[in-house]
Chain A
Amino acid sequence: MTTAKRRAIIALSLCGAAVIAIIVLTVVLSSNVVYFRTVSEAVAERATDAGSRFRIAGEVVPGSVVETGRGVEFEITDGKKTARVVHVGDPPSLFEDGAPVVCEGRWGPKAAFASDRIMIRHGNEYEAPDVDSGSAAPGPLADRSAGAGGAGAP
């Protein structure tokens, strides 16, 4: 009798813990499951958006980057729509023309996205640097011959 009772209590408390865990997970993820909006989505929602904070993802339009006193201004595109981003602060080291970025901030004046954080969203493809063009990533590849052995140890 007591064993059955104890077993029931254990089973119930485990189920309770699982339910709590699922609720917490749902609450935490509900605002973050869509980690970013595409440029098209963000532009479409701009008219109805009441200045809420969100993330916008796209590629930096080559040639659009302008350094300002407080940070950088550039254009971001998802291939369909383009938006202007005014960023305050230092961009990450891999920020460059064509880089896939996620910017955090809100719609500001003059239909520009006021960003205060830029993250680089790289893909899942890994390849050796292209020797011919060498233009893919000037920073990390500047000294390719030393790359294999020199600055190696992470």
Chain B
Amino acid sequence: MIDGRSALRSDRLMAPVARRVVGGLSVVALVALVVVGLFVAPPDAFQGDAQRLMYLHVPAAWLAYLAFGVTAVCSALYLWGRTRSLVWDRIAGASAELGVVFTGLTLLLGSLWGRPIWGVWWAWDARLVTTAVLFFLYLGYLALRRIPAALDVRAKRCGVAALIAFVDVPIVHFSVTWWRTLHQEATVFNPDLDVQIEGTMALALWLGVLSFTLLYVYLLDLRYRLEVLDEDRDERDLEAAIAERAQGGVPSAGTVGVGS
């Protein structure tokens, strides 16, 4: 399991300078989003200012799709023998974690948007229910990653789970087309690909998508690095425990069970 790492020399996804550039760009894009979303774009003719929540809600949902998509692709790359590398497993885990955060954000922002417009915080329609299922599916995936196991065993097990969980992503997206829902249909990626939004509003929406995507790349690299450090620490703890036992000493409480 150590081979995969040293062979590819991949203790990070991008150079630190690249990460800082991406992080800086995402801050710039977020500031532009605040300006355009709050001050440049007009209030919606029907919904008024509450519609501005769209500039966060839709990018958050887009990011959840993207994050789980990356998790699925990387899981497949791990499971396929020829491209098997723990690098893919780490990206999959890091991306799923971000996906869960942004799915939660989507649900929360959607709820805040629903209350003033629909009149309710929550509705048991197909879009909302399948999104909640998505949230819990990947929460389960993250729980699966926490079960102690050798890294390659965990990677295989989680890879299969990630591919199963991804089935819900297209169901969430097309739920508003397939079934009657309280939730409106997609404004941009609808079946007719007919964008139903005024110019500066669309600009705010795209700025939201851009800034969230940049933020995702930045956080993904950071989380990947953390995962590598975690693995290193576990390995050091294990070696320390072995060394201690080899000397005939009783393992201290802190190292008992590590790597079992």
Contact = CB atoms under 8 A, between A and B. Distances in A.
B196 A149 contact: no
A136 B118 CA distance: 17
B251 interface: no
B124 interface: yes
Contacts of B186: 124
B116 A93 contact: yes
A122 B117 contact: yes
| A: contact size bracket | 35 or more
B49 A152 contact: yes
A119 B38 contact: no
A137 interface: yes
A140 B42 CA distance: 12
Interface stretch (A33-41, A42-50, A107-115): A33-41
Contacts of A137: 45-48
Contacts of A18: 164
A126 B54 contact: yes
Contact of B123 (A119, A141, A148): A119
B164 A126 contact: no
Contacts of B116: 93-94
A32 interface: yes
A21 B133 contact: yes
Interface in A96-121: 102, 117-121
A42 B149 CA distance: 56
B180 interface: yes
**Chain A interface, DSSP helix/strand/loop, else mixed:** loop
B49 A29 contact: no
Nearest to A93: B116
Contact of A152 (B52, B118, B164, B184): B52
Interface string A136-154: 1101110010011101111
Interface string B65-102: 00000000000000000000000000000000000000
A140 B43 contact: yes
A10 interface: yes
Given A14-B160, A18-B164, A151 B49 contact: yes
B129 interface: yes
Contacts of A17: 140
Contacts of B10: none
Given A29-B129, A33-B179, A126-B197, A140 B118 contact: no
A119 B46 contact: no
A128 interface: yes
Contacts of A149: 38-39
Contact of A119 (B54, B119, B133, B197): B119
A118 B118 CA distance: 8
Contact of A124 (B129, B133, B137, B187): B187
B201 interface: yes
Smallest CB-CB A-B distances: 7 pairs:
A140-B48, A92-B119, A128-B42, A125-B196, A124-B184, A147-B43, A35-B125
Interface of B: 38-40, 42-54, 112, 116-120, 123-126, 129-130, 133, 137, 140, 157, 160-161, 164, 179-182, 184-187, 190, 196-198, 201
Given A36-B180, A94-B116, A140-B49, 19 more contacts: A29-B130, A32-B129, A33-B180, A34-B180, A35-B182, A91-B119, A117-B119, A119-B118, A122-B117, A123-B185, A126-B196, A127-B45, A136-B45, A137-B45, A137-B48, A139-B48, A144-B43, A147-B43, A148-B39
